């Protein structure tokens, strides 16, 4: 039996699918801006991040963030292509099989967006927690000096 998400995609109109793609693209663009901010944070706190005993964890976190940045670019390209295909669907009559193809692609994109969002949020939270600890230690050390 197919899950509720698949059924919702199947019942959506092409205009609703397009609106969801626009929303995804907006979220990905925001994440891209946020990614630049995170990269700047990493650059500013590189030495304290790698100087403590959690060097391996910091390196792993930075590499995960880099992988997610690459995934963001791939997803944005896929969403753009899919959105253009849906725009074509809006403009002309398509046969049932072609429309089903768009819907199936949309469903898998929806799943990929969900997975990406969850992983990105987790990595971002870990990075903020680690940098927060670095800042606290830095403040504590300056007070003790």
Question: Among 82, 65, 108, which Cα is nearest to 23's?
Answer: 82
pLDDT per position as a tens digit, 93-124: 667 777 788 888 989 999 999 999 999 999 99
Nearby residues of 65 by Cβ (< 8 Å), 6 or more positions away: 35, 38, 39, 42, 123, 124, 127
d(CA 86, CA 100) in angstroms, rounded, equals 11
pLDDT per position as a tens digit, 46-77: 777 666 666 777 778 888 988 999 999 999 99
3-state secondary structure of 85: helix
Report yes or no: 86 and 102 within 8 Å, Cβ to Cβ.
yes
Query: Which pTM was predicted?
Result: 0.82
Angle at 72 between CA 58 and CA 116, to 5 degrees: 75
Query: What is the per-residue pLDDT for 128?
Result: 87
């Amino acid at each position: 039996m197919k899950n509720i998400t698949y059924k919702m995609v199947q019942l959506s109109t092409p205009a609703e699918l397009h609106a969801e793609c626009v929303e995804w693209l907006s979220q990905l663009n925001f994440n891209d801006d946020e990614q630049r901010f995170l990269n700047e944070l990493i650059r500013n706190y590189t030495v304290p991040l790698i100087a403590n005993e959690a060097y391996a964890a910091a390196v792993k976190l930075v590499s995960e963030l880099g992988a997610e940045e690459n995934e963001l670019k791939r997803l944005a390209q896929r969403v753009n292509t899919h959105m253009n295909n849906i725009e074509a669907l809006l403009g002309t009559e398509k046969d049932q099989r072609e429309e089903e193809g768009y819907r199936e692609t949309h469903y898998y994109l929806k799943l990929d967006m969900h997975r990406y969002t969850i992983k990105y949020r987790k990595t971002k939270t870990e990075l903020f927690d680690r940098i927060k600890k670095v800042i606290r230690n830095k403040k504590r050390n300056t007070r003790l000096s």
